[in-house]
């Protein structure tokens, strides 16, 4: 291979003639073009030579031995919405390279994400795109706790976008399960403890002790035991959850259990691998966020888990693209089983450049979910859900014992489960709930000074009455026993304190977080 000739950075207008539009047509390219169109993309900056770590690992593992002479360099495309004052992208980039802070700020505000274009048939490599603006006032906001910040450096100018990386399936090195694990391990929950793996290293790890004599490359895809092994080999703990129903061909999920399980894990910052069938074929996708339903009023005496119904589940699907919106529905053929239906939003920017490929996607039937968690989290989500329900149900019973004339209206009890770093609970969750400085101060100090030493991660069962958080019950996540007892509870509402005194609950040390 001869020496490469330097080339200029190229600026293109987003549209029919840009580098993305000139790639061979496929669902993934079409989806990305539609998504960027809805984000009002105007500019595409092309770096002709870009060395991508993930592709280089694939090149070393497979493509470098091919007589076809695959290149080891990729291209990178970065996308921008209109710049302030209809400025030209090249002009602002040149000014930003000279440390013009105003130009740098304009570029950052217009930055929509990036895509690595690989010199192999599966063109779309590592891709991160911004989320649609979350401006719907009539719905709760998306929960995208697994997302992290990605930095792009162009000639010394750094631009950041929040999301999770996606890439197109490369059937030689990384099939759909490998791509899903790769996305899962990008999570913000692992950012301080895990070096980002490559798809090649995931496929190799999956076969290290579980290959059963199978060839590694080209990959034939990963089975469930391969996925668990790949997670374990990267220093994380695999967790596999089967559906709670059976359609005669294997486990399926009820809508309530699937929604609540995915939501609690995603709230905790853990992306969820969803294993199931699309049509007649097995497939794996990675859930990265969701939009919860607005809480409906519950009558006194009712007990319900939060997030048993979701408005949307957002999924990275290697066969489609990033942040694909799905609706959790009931399977028409198996009336009790949850099914995922691709449900793209209406265009936000006029006619899309091509037909939306999600319109023709067959329903996806989940059968299992697999999650990577940190080793310190040993308690099963199912155990936490059962404990949460028992606590909420007992409080609901106590409320029903109140004189009806004194009982709050529609005082049904809800609960939700989250696993979170203790430091994040103290710093962020309490601060967003306890608005008054003095109770917040007292609650934080009491948790540190009056409660036995706590685990790095805590499980939090949050109880709400009439839509208002009233109680956080804290569990040690290192205790995997079914008889898991809480070590502390934080009372957020003064009217609940006397009710807890009469309830038959063991909730550990009481911490007060309200004004007396």
> Model confidence over 242-276: pLDDT tens digits?
999 999 999 999 999 999 999 999 999 999 999 99
Q: What pLDDT does residue 463 have?
A: 94
Tell me the torsion sign for CA atoms 473, 482, 338, 171: positive
Q: What pLDDT does residue 494 have?
A: 85
Do 369 and 386 belong to one domain? no
Residue 292 forms part of a structural domain: yes
Domain boundary among 349, 373, 397: 373
Q: Which residues pair with 241 in a beta bridge?
A: 369
Rounded CA gap, 59 and 380, in Å?
39
pLDDT band at 499 (very low <50, low <70, confident <90, very high): confident
Domain boundary among 316, 341, 373: 373
Residue 205 forms part of a structural domain: yes
Residue 2 forms part of a structural domain: no
Residue 4 forms part of a structural domain: no
CB 514 within 8 A of CB 489: no
Rounded CA gap, 50 and 56, in Å?
11
Residue 50 forms part of a structural domain: yes
Two tokens at 423? 């430091």
Domain boundary among 373, 399, 424: 373
Q: What pLDDT does residue 407 have?
A: 65
Residue 355 forms part of a structural domain: yes
Do 85 and 190 belong to one domain? yes
Rounded CA gap, 290 and 309, in Å?
11
Alpha-carbon distances, residue 216 vs 34, 210, 329 (angstroms):
35, 11, 37
Do 240 and 107 belong to one domain? yes
**Most confident residue range from 342-346, 382-386, 471-475:** 471-475
Q: Which of 266, 322, 309, 273 is nearest to 114 (CA)?
A: 322
Do 361 and 396 belong to one domain? no
472-489 mean pLDDT: 88
Do 158 and 303 belong to one domain? yes
Judge whether residue 220 has pLDDT over 60: no
Judge whether residue 414 has pLDDT over 60: yes
Structural domains in the chain (count): 2
Do 368 and 393 belong to one domain? no
138 or 379, higher pLDDT: 379
Judge whether residue 47 has pLDDT over 90: yes
User: How large a percentage of the chain has pLDDT more than 90?
Assistant: 66
Do 91 and 150 belong to one domain? yes
Do 38 and 156 belong to one domain? yes
Do 20 and 165 belong to one domain? yes
pLDDT band at 399 (very low <50, low <70, confident <90, very high): confident
pTM of the complete model: 0.92
The one-character DSSP state at 90 is H
Residue 122 forms part of a structural domain: yes
pLDDT in tens, 317-339: 999 999 999 999 998 777 789 99
Edge-to-edge strands, sheet with 74-80 = 10-13, 43-50, 74-80, 111-117, 124-129
Average pLDDT, the chain: 90
Do 349 and 407 belong to one domain? no
SS3 47: strand
pLDDT band at 502 (very low <50, low <70, confident <90, very high): confident
Range of the domain at 443: 381-512
Residue 3 forms part of a structural domain: no
Do 96 and 244 belong to one domain? yes
Do 206 and 104 belong to one domain? yes
Residues 6 or more apart whose CB falls under 8 angstroms from that of 330 comprise 255, 336, 337, 338, 339
């Amino acid at each position: 291979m001869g020496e490469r000739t330097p080339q200029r950075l190229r600026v293109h207008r987003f549209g029919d003639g840009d580098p993305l539009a000139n790639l061979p047509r496929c669902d993934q390219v079409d989806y990305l073009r539609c998504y960027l169109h809805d984000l009002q993309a105007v500019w595409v900056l092309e770096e002709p030579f870009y060395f991508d770590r993930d592709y280089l690992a694939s090149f070393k593992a497979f493509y470098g031995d091919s007589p076809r002479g695959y290149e080891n360099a990729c291209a990178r495309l970065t996308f921008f919405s209109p710049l302030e004052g209809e400025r030209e992208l090249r002009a602002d980039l040149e000014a930003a390279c000279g440390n013009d802070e105003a130009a740098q700020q304009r570029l950052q505000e217009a930055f929509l994400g990036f895509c690595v274009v690989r010199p192999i048939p599966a063109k779309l490599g590592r891709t991160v795109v911004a989320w649609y603006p979350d401006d719907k006032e009539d719905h709760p906001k998306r929960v995208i706790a697994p997302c992290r910040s990605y930095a792009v450096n162009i000639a010394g100018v750094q631009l950041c976008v929040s999301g999770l990386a996606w890439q197109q399936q490369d059937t030689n090195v990384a099939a759909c399960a490998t791509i899903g694990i790769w996305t899962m391990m990008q999570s913000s929950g692992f950012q301080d403890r895990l070096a980002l793996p490559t798809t090649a290293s995931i496929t190799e790890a999956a076969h290290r002790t579980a290959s059963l004599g199978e060839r590694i490359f080209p990959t034939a895809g990963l089975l469930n035991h391969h996925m668990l092994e790949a997670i374990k080999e990267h220093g994380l703990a695999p967790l596999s959850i089967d559906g709670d129903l059976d359609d005669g061909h294997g486990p399926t999920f009820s809508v309530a259990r699937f929604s609540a399980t995915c939501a609690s894990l995603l709230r905790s910052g853990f992306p969820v691998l969803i294993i199931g069938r699309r049509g007649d074929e097995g497939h794996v996708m990675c859930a990265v966020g969701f939009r919860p339903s607005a809480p409906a009023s519950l009558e006194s005496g009712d007990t319900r888990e939060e997030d048993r119904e979701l408005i949307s589940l957002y999924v990275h699907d290697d066969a489609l693209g990033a942040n694909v919106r799905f609706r959790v529905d009931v399977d028409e053929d198996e009336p009790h089983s949850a099914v995922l239906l691709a449900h793209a939003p209406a265009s936000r920017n006029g006619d899309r450049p091509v037909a939306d490929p999600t319109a023709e996607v067959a329903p996806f039937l989940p059968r299992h979910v697999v999650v990577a968690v940190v080793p310190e989290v040993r308690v099963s989500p199912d155990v936490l859900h059962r404990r949460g329900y028992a606590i909420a149900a007992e409080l609901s019973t106590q409320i029903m014992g109140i004189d009806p004339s004194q009982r709050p209206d529609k005082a049904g009890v809800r609960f939700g489960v989250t696993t979170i770093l203790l430091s994040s609970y103290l710093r962020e969750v309490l601060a967003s709930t306890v608005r008054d400085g003095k109770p917040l101060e007292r609650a934080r100090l009491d948790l540190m000074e009056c409660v036995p030493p706590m685990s790095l991660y805590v499980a939090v069962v949050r109880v709400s009455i009439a839509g208002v958080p009233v109680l956080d019950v804290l569990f040690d996540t290192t205790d995997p026993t079914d008889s898991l007892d809480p070590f502390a509870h934080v009372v957020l509402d003064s009217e609940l304190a006397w009710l807890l005194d009469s309830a038959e609950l063991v909730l550990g040390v009481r911490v007060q977080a309200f004004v007396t």
